[in-house]
Structures are given as structure tokens and as C-alpha cells.
């Protein structure tokens, strides 16, 4: 696979030519390498949402599908399912509200391919056992809904590089307010990166927010952007 340089357009054209009426071949008649390329292109933006307000889980046993999952591929036939699921799970971002309970109930062969997980509520996540050891391939864990009230900073300063060190310190300190277990997670040896998605609410007339993604291991800010005013106040946020 490393030697293949087939582009997305070329892969699509090859699949169309081979599967179309010109040859009468089906998708399973394609070489395995081409089928893997097709799976990779189909699944590159897949997301599995479970235990969230927007998730929909059909009653299909261990079938790993939701409203955002490409189940038209996984439900086609057994061979396509067995071939595509490892690629799908490796490309998928798993999104949960605050617990991994539904995720870790899946078969081990699926869990071993998940490499990115997003937790929508860091507070809820801190209240239950993490069970992160069940995701051996995890590379990035992203914790969201971390709100920090900045009494002495405005949005202009927070958007500047000069504010990065202070913002990282505030994000780390706020973890101890949310839950001691999260702070311990920062210090514990782990094979994956920990990213914190923080909303910094500034002390200004506009009440605008500055959103920042903090890499707690590298002590860097990956991304910053201006956000709308806060509508729902978080009791676990702090003043700085």
C-alpha cells in the first residue's frame, strides 16, 4: 500500500470502469488494493456519535452504525463488512457525551482500531472510570466543554501569541476544578495525546469568547478562534 500513489479521482475512474457495464464485473471483482483505496476515500471523514443528544443507534446488535455512519457499505454483505470495518474504525472519530460505556461494549476487534475520541462534556467524563485501556490504538483524546472566565483579559490579548502561556496555565488549573481524576490523567504515563477544547469568556461588553485547543503534553495551543457569547453558564468555570 505504501507504494501506491493512486489519486482519489483515478481510484473512482478505475472502479467505475471495472464495475460498469463495459466489463460486467462487480465491486468484489476489483483487486483488494483498489477496494481498500475506495474504503479509505469513503471513510476519511466518518464520525461515530453515541450517547449524545444527536446520536441514533439502530437495534442491530453489535453492528457499529449510527446516523452519521456509512452503513450502506458495512451492511452490504459479510465480505465487505469484514474488509471495511477495520479501515472504518481507524478513520473514525468516536464522539461521546461523557462516558465510554457504549463504546467499550463493542467487540475487541473494533476497539483496537479506534485512534481518536472526543468527549463532549469533560465534567461528566470525570465522574466515571475512564476505561481508556480498552482503546489500545488511541492516539488523541479530546475533552470539550471546558469554560474559563477571564476577568482581567480581553479578546484581543487572548488572540495574540503572548497569551498562550497564560491560557495553557488556566486550562490546566481548571482541570483540577472539574475533577481530580482529570488532573491525574494529565500526569499519568499514557500512549495518547490529551487535547483540551476551552472556551475563554472575556470581560468585555460583547461577552465574546475565544476558543482554543490546548495540547496539554506539548504545552502548546493548536488552534484559536473567536466565538459567540456564552448562553449557558458553567458552574465549574473559574475567574482569572
User: What does the pLDDT profile of the chain (240 residues) look like in tens digits?
Assistant: 334 445 555 555 554 554 444 556 788 888 888 888 888 887 776 777 776 554 443 333 333 444 445 566 767 788 888 888 778 777 778 888 888 877 777 777 778 888 888 998 998 888 888 888 888 889 999 999 898 888 788 888 899 999 999 999 999 888 888 888 898 898 889 999 999 999 998 866 666 789 999 999 999 999 998 877 765 554 444 444
The pLDDT assigned to 194 comes to 94
DSSP H helical ranges for the chain:
8-19, 32-43, 71-74, 78-91, 101-104, 108-111, 122-126, 155-158, 164-178, 180-187
* Widest Cα–Cα separation across the chain: 70
The pLDDT assigned to 9 comes to 57
d(CA 129, CA 39): 34
Reading the block at residue 43, the C-alpha cell is: 471513510
Amino acid at each position: 500500500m505504501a507504494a501506491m500513489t493512486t489519486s482519489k479521482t483515478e481510484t473512482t475512474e478505475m472502479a467505475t470502469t471495472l464495475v460498469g457495464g463495459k466489463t460486467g464485473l462487480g465491486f468484489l471483482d476489483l483487486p483488494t488494493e483498489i477496494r481498500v483505496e475506495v474504503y479509505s476515500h469513503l471513510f476519511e471523514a466518518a464520525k461515530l456519535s453515541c450517547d449524545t443528544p444527536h446520536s441514533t443507534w439502530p437495534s442491530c446488535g453489535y453492528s457499529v452504525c449510527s446516523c452519521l455512519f456509512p452503513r450502506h457499505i458495512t451492511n452490504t454483505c459479510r465480505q465487505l463488512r469484514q474488509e471495511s470495518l477495520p479501515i472504518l474504525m481507524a478513520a473514525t472519530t468516536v464522539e461521546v457525551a461523557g462516558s465510554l460505556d457504549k463504546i467499550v461494549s463493542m467487540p475487541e476487534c473494533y476497539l483496537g482500531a479506534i485512534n481518536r475520541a472526543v468527549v463532549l462534556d469533560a465534567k461528566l467524563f470525570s465522574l466515571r472510570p475512564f476505561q481508556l485501556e480498552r482503546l489500545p490504538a488511541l492516539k488523541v483524546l479530546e475533552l470539550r466543554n471546558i469554560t474559563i472566565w477571564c476577568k482581567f483579559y480581553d479578546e484581543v490579548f487572548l488572540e495574540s501569541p503572548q497569551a498562550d502561556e497564560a491560557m495553557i496555565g488556566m486550562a490546566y488549573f481548571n482541570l483540577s476544578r472539574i475533577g481530580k481524576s482529570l488532573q491525574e490523567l494529565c500526569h499519568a504515563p499514557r500512549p495518547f495525546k490529551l487535547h483540551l477544547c476551552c472556551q475563554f469568556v472575556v470581560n468585555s461588553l460583547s461577552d465574546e469568547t475565544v476558543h482554543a485547543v490546548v495540547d496539554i503534553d506539548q504545552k502548546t495551543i493548536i488552534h484559536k478562534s473567536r466565538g459567540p457569547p456564552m448562553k449557558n453558564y458553567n458552574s465549574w468555570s473559574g475567574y482569572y
